[in-house]
Structure 1
Amino acid sequence: MTGLLVVTAVPAEAEAIRAGLTDPTTTVLPVGVGPAVAAATTARLLVLAEAAGRPYQGVVSAGVAGGFTGRVAVGATVLGSASVAADLGAESPAGFIPVDELGMPADWLGGGTTLAADPGLLARLRAALPAATVGPVLTVSTVTGTAASTDALRRRHPDAVAEAMEGYGVAVAAAQANLPFAELRTVSNPIGPRDRDAWRMREALAALTTAAAALT
């Protein structure tokens, strides 16, 4: 029997999840960094599984993320209530315009720039991870690294709790396959001016191993 497909960006994240996984029907695979390769590779995996007669029952984008200071702590676990294409749009003198406000039909955008997590899958994850922070997770192609860009994101997405690079792409692939989707992240660093010394990757990967037991 095939269960969840859990996709990460890099092998280290996949290894951390496998170390804590308790469900043998869950498949964990790294698919690459960024929304484009994550979407394309996830879609290919879903098509291959369906063609083999072993379709997955749902898709989870998992890995480490940056967290908004004051909303989630470094080392904490985050469940995405939605995955948001935060930098897909246009600049203007008045500020950033999300692409779904530019007059394009929603079906051109894979359902819009905000894709909600599946309610049933999210509820199961919340029950298994009661200490997790729940809120929108932003997907960006360029990781935020200045105070100005951090403040701009905070203003545009006042409820967002974290930032990563693959969730929205994986969500689009899951939506195209009509499969439940959720996003699970652990926080390795605060979002803001780039400071590698402030990153706690080891702690975030350890938290990912602990959270992996929820992926059933």
Structure 2
Amino acid sequence: MRVLVVTAVRAEADAVSGGLSAVADAASERRLPGGYVLTAHPGADVLVAGVGSAAAASGTATALACADVASAPYGLVVSAGIGGGFQPLAPVGSLVVADAIVAADLGAETPEGFLPVDELGFGRTVHHPPAELTARIAGLLDAVLAPVLTVSTVTGSAARTAELAARHPRAAAEAMEGFGVAEAAAAYGVPVAEIRAVSNTVGPRDRSAWRIGQALEALREACRQLSPVFEEST
């Protein structure tokens, strides 16, 4: 079995591949249906699936389907990239490993407030990664182990930050792809994990305070440290 690491954009994939290549042979590329490109390392394959939950689900499902056809199924799918951190739990430059992957805005607005789809009686809004694995990963990376929220619109105001924090008081990070990756992995019966390197504070939008380079370097170093864990799954 192999590990599939799914990112939203090329910069994230390059950071992941850079970490994996630091301790491994040169990678090779494989083209998949739909225009996706899979970068194969000895311990993991890296996929750029696109931004947002729908794109992430589509790309992940394509990779998993192609692996089944090749009779080389994946044993773990990891959603990896940069994201916003809720303060003070996850400062800029830190790492967050999800103990829950939550679709934070999948539901309905009501006069009494937001209702997630599971409370409406259909669908689900939470995936729980394997507890032992995520605890191990968080320990190796000295990362925060907490829920990561998947949002369709990145938070850019104090009011929205307060709303999310009230509904998800343990949440440490937000991003846009984790739940989509988890949905595809669940459809194929493959465990899922999510790792986020914090590039900015969740709150009022302030691009001058973003530290994308620092977060990508943290992601690269995280994947370097996790290479032995990934290779155990091969």
Q: C-alpha separation between the residues in 1 aligned to 2:3 and 2:114?
A: 36
What displacement does 1:57 show?
1.3
Q: C-alpha separation between the residues in 2 aligned to 1:18 and 1:176?
A: 26
CA contact (8 A) 2:2 2:72 kept: no
Q: TM-score, normalised by structure 2?
A: 0.86
CA contact (8 A) 2:56 2:177 kept: yes
Which residue pairs with 1:14 in the alignment? 13
Where do 5+ consecutive residues of structure 2 fail to align? 25-41
What displacement does 1:69 show?
1.2
What displacement does 1:126 show?
2.5
Q: C-alpha separation between the residues in 1 aligned to 2:180 and 2:202?
A: 21
Task: Give the percent of matched residue pairs that are identical in Structure 1 and Structure 2.
Answer: 54
Where do 5+ consecutive residues of structure 1 fail to align? none
Q: What does 1:150-165 correspond to in 2, within 5 Å?
A: 150-165=161-176
What displacement does 1:103 show?
1.7
Q: How many correspondences in the alignment? A: 208
Q: TM-score, normalised by structure 1?
A: 0.93
Q: C-alpha separation between the residues in 2 aligned to 1:172 and 1:118?
A: 15
Q: C-alpha separation between the residues in 1 aligned to 2:153 and 2:136?
A: 31
Which residue pairs with 1:113 in the alignment? 125
Q: C-alpha separation between the residues in 2 aligned to 1:155 and 1:127?
A: 27
Dislocated runs of 4+, deviation >6 Å: none
Q: C-alpha separation between the residues in 2 aligned to 1:48 and 1:187?
A: 31
1:178 aligned to which of 167, 182, 189: 189
What displacement does 1:204 show?
0.1
Deviations 1:11-58 (A, max 9, x none): 000001111114623111110000001001101110111111111111
Q: C-alpha separation between the residues in 2 aligned to 1:200 and 1:25?
A: 28
> Counterpart amino acid of 2:131?
P
> Counterpart amino acid of 2:189?
N
Which one has the bigger strand percentage?
2
Which residue pairs with 2:212 in the alignment? 201
Q: C-alpha separation between the residues in 2 aligned to 1:133 and 1:71?
A: 8
> Counterpart amino acid of 1:67?
G
2:88 aligned to which of 66, 70, 81: 70
